[in-house]
Structure 1
Amino acid sequence: MRAHFSFSFLVKGIFSFSFLCLGFSAQAQQPTLIDNIVAKVGSHIILRSELEFQHSNALSQGYQSPQLRCDILKSLVQNKLLLARAEMDSVIVEESMVTGELENRLSTFISQIGSEERLEEYFNKPMNEIRSDLRRSIKEQMTLQRMEREIAGKIAVTPKEVQTYFNSIPKDSLPYYSTEVEVGQIVKISQIGNAQKQAAREQLEEIRRRIVAGEDFAKLAMQYSQDPGSGAAGGELGMLKKTDLIPEYVAAAFKLKPGEISPVIESMYGYHIIQLIEKRGEEFNSRHILIKPATGQADVALTTQQLDSIRTLIMKDTLTFAKAAKDFSDDRSTKGNGGMITLPNSPTTYIPVDKLDPSIFFVLDTLQVGSISKPLPYRTEDGKEALRILYLKSKNPPHQANLKDDYQKIAAAALNNKRNKAIAAWFEKNKDTVFVDVVQEFQACNLEN
């Protein structure tokens, strides 16, 4: 059966937190190849390495088709066309949103791989180049998502359309689902005590005194800064706009003259000292040293007590888990979803047990449906110490897909199918508004159909 690749497939692949799915990492840990351009779409190009990376990634996910490269190339062309039209139509993604996603993504990657040094080794690039490549990739991804919403964001499906879509699937092609669970969490980040804050501030004050006395800011940043993105680059962030950084940082930096050092300032990330390198209108380049206060044992004990109290209220039916998650959880990705953990890009709250994080899997193995674990140690994606309680909401045995048990998944598939058709129609309507040129080797892909 021919695989169908869409714009949505590529966006989902790129947004995966797996190191094999970073949009800019196609040549990480691979032999150097002679690269060339396989297609031009307006001012945008598609490299052979990009096509081959997506092809390898698709194969690793089980996609098989004689036309696989052509299907992927068509999706890449669609993506570049969307980017070109976004420029023409002035569809803009705010730089502050890009910066926020960049910092979150970098923290996650470094946490996954273990250190900045290992990340640099993996990509065979210094940290500042990784940051630059990732920023460009994230901005493209967010622009593609915004364009997709412009085209198909208001499309919905009715229950009748869901049923029609389900009935159109041959019975022998219906997927078979393994055991699945619904799992919720309430996360509490361990609060930092005054003693830990004071210790962090004093450490940074001492570093500042050393710089003022003549030591090199960049060397001390490499030695002490706890910013995973800039520390290895001597604390330097590169030319950025005011909107790219948090207000406290910008306010302090714009009070400085080039070469001057700020006093210690506090932000949501910890304590900083800043050195202004260059300022051009609303853009500036600076370096900084970040010190994060440590979490003390007493603070962990207090957080444990808070979660124990919340757990008791839920177990006594005084409070629902969803309401408790909304009111008390510090995890922004789940608190608005009743505390339920979901897989990236999943349309449902059900998670196959073989996809569970091992730390969750072994806890759930001790829980009955409807029960809640005691507080467990947890580290957030940005590296903060925390505790959480886990809730086993439901557990589905292995079964073949059906409307009763899998309505959410089938509805999502029907919606995705309808949106893909809308995007394909948009592509057909707009493909002649941007110049598209494909090398002779791939002319047989017949991208115009």
Structure 2
Amino acid sequence: MSRKIAFSLLFIFLPLFVFSQVSEDKIVAVVGDEPILESELNFAIANLVQQGLVSEDELGTEEGKKRVMGDVLERLIEEALVLVAAGRESIQVSEAEVDSIWNERWEKAKKGYPSTKEFEQELASSGFSIKTFREKMKREIRNSLLKERFLQKKFTRVELSDEDVRSFYEEFKDSLPDVPASVELAAILIEISPDSETIKRAREKIEMVYDELVKGSGFEICAKRYSEDEATAKKGGALGRFKRGDLAAPLDSVAFSLEVGKFSEPIRSQQGFHILMLLSKSKETVEIAHILVKTPITPERYQQLISLADSVHTLARDSLYDFGELAKDFSDDAATRDSSGYLGKFYVDALLPPLREYVKGATTGDILPIIETDEGFQIFKVISFTPEKKLTLETDFDIIQNIARNHRIEKEINSWLERFKKTVYIDIRI
């Protein structure tokens, strides 16, 4: 089950929309041969604002803004120094690794918008085309991987004794973070899906279209005659050019496996049934056309699904029925239904509303109100709820050990940076 609605994701991309690209990008510092641009500084500040680590009030005064810019620039210089060191150590990152991460994040980013077009409009409003956005993000991904690999290679071999951990705890226990409230959840998903008759009619129509194509009818003619995608039908089904990962999963793999001039067998997606045709292909992109027969959700079907969700929710709240058995019988989430709908353990503050608010007022065993998402109606059960608490050596030794290790690594990195920066040309221009 996708959790794009119910659960918050880690930042997919840095929030580039808070600070748009500056029209005339100034160099604010140079580290080695590499400049640090004003847009990168603004970008990093925007990220801190988005995370709540820097307030708008701090940026509202000249003194506060100057202090924040100085602190952030110092951090960017340190990151640039790590990149210089990674280069000297010949740390490598393959293009395939960067592409893989980019494709995954691009798909997730698009899902946050009603359509790809609206996402592109948001990019354009911030001064980015898809091409410049892709280039910037892939550069960020590559640099992040280089820095991560260098630091792992040089600083991860830090061993702490149990006594080291105890000493760290005694010194810092008053400033250690609390363990956030967490919750274990199970869920039943009633998918918002078309009824069997709608699917049958759509399948019959797409198979009829496919037969016509096999018998020699032109793809463009069939698209204009039969496709239910109004935006592309009049253009012979032409969709445009796409990089790998731009299309939804079931369409993407087929599009990149076709030969130019060939069409696919019918493919099922959330929209309905497609037949793809490959118009042209380059090393990284495909140009495709499609014929779409939709499988809409009728008002009657929607009401039917609401009634089903209400009925399952009522059964789940009845102590006579086992939630896990109900998940096996009714859930449309193939990934979790055989494990009693179990989703896992989550920090409460990482959940998106309204789930977060429902969980905060719940106790172990509660069945939460039905939540409607793009996927369907979700019925959650609180398997266990653990309130926020203080870290202790007795119950949280592993967590404290990890914090202590990171603290030691951070000290070693800072010490190394002070030595290394003396060997690198640095010019600060603000």
The TM-score, its normalising length taken from structure 2, stands at: 0.63
CA 1:387 to 1:85, structure 2 compared with 1: closer, same or farther past 3 Å? Answer: farther
**Aligned counterpart for 2:74 among listed residues 68, 71, 74:** 71
The 3-state SS of whatever aligns with 1:372 is coil
Which residue does 2:181 correspond to in 1? Answer: 180
Which residue does 2:427 correspond to in 1? Answer: 439
**Aligned counterpart for 2:242 among listed residues 237, 245, 258:** 237
**Aligned counterpart for 1:372 among listed residues 362, 366, 372:** 366
CA 1:429 to 1:237, structure 2 compared with 1: closer, same or farther past 3 Å? Answer: farther
Which residue does 1:255 correspond to in 2? Answer: 258
Which residue does 1:190 correspond to in 2? Answer: 191
How far did 1:384 drift? 2.6
How far did 1:249 drift? 3.9
What root-mean-square deviation, in Å, do the aligned CA atoms of Structure 1 and Structure 2 show?
A: 5.6
How far did 1:278 drift? 3.4
One-letter code aligned to 2:406: N
Which residue does 1:274 correspond to in 2? Answer: 276
CA 1:359 to 1:170, structure 2 compared with 1: closer, same or farther past 3 Å? Answer: closer
One-letter code aligned to 2:106: L
Over the matched positions of the two proteins, sequence identity in percent amounts to 15
Which residue does 1:101 correspond to in 2? Answer: 105
Q: Between Structure 1 and Structure 2, whose CA radius of gyration is higher?
A: 2
Separation in structure 2 between the aligned mates of residue 199 and residue 428 of structure 1, nearest angstrom? 70
**Aligned counterpart for 2:48 among listed residues 47, 58, 69:** 58
**Aligned counterpart for 1:359 among listed residues 354, 359, 378:** 354
How far did 1:293 drift? 4.7
How far did 1:328 drift? 8.9
Equivalent pairs, count: 386
CA 1:374 to 1:26, structure 2 compared with 1: closer, same or farther past 3 Å? Answer: closer
Which residue does 1:165 correspond to in 2? Answer: 168
Separation in structure 1 between the aligned mates of residue 351 and residue 247 of structure 2, nearest angstrom? 35
One-letter code aligned to 2:426: V
How far did 1:61 drift? 0.8
After superposition, give the CA deviation of every residue in 1:374-402 in whole Å (9 maximum; x if it has no partner).
562342xxx433413141622536x7665
Which residue does 1:46 correspond to in 2? Answer: 36
One-letter code aligned to 2:97: V
How far did 1:415 drift? 3.7
CA 1:199 to 1:430, structure 2 compared with 1: closer, same or farther past 3 Å? Answer: farther
The 3-state SS of whatever aligns with 2:242 is coil
How far did 1:359 drift? 0.5
How far did 1:261 drift? 5.0
One-letter code aligned to 1:165: F
CA contact (8 A) 1:188 1:387 kept: yes
One-letter code aligned to 1:27: F
Separation in structure 2 between the aligned mates of residue 320 and residue 148 of structure 1, nearest angstrom? 47
Give yes or no for the alignment of 1:27 onto 2:27.
no
Separation in structure 2 between the aligned mates of residue 205 and residue 427 of structure 1, nearest angstrom? 68
CA 1:132 to 1:366, structure 2 compared with 1: closer, same or farther past 3 Å? Answer: same
CA contact (8 A) 1:308 1:374 kept: no
CA 1:38 to 1:74, structure 2 compared with 1: closer, same or farther past 3 Å? Answer: closer
**Aligned counterpart for 1:396 among listed residues 387, 409, 423:** 387
CA contact (8 A) 1:36 1:48 kept: yes
Q: Map of 1:422-437 to 2, 5 A cutoff?
A: 437=425
Separation in structure 2 between the aligned mates of residue 340 and residue 116 of structure 1, nearest angstrom? 31
Separation in structure 1 between the aligned mates of residue 308 and residue 412 of structure 2, nearest angstrom? 52
How far did 1:68 drift? 1.0
CA contact (8 A) 1:41 1:80 kept: no
- Could you tell me which runs of 5 or more consecutive residues in structure 2 were left unpaired when the two chains were aligned: 1-8, 56-63
After superposition, give the CA deviation of every residue in 1:54-90 in whole Å (9 maximum; x if it has no partner).
1354365149968513431234314534764797435
The 3-state SS of whatever aligns with 1:394 is strand
CA 1:152 to 1:338, structure 2 compared with 1: closer, same or farther past 3 Å? Answer: farther
How far did 1:373 drift? 1.4
CA 1:237 to 1:50, structure 2 compared with 1: closer, same or farther past 3 Å? Answer: same
How far did 1:40 drift? 4.7
CA contact (8 A) 1:314 1:320 kept: no
CA contact (8 A) 1:189 1:330 kept: no
How far did 1:237 drift? 0.9
CA contact (8 A) 2:185 2:342 kept: yes
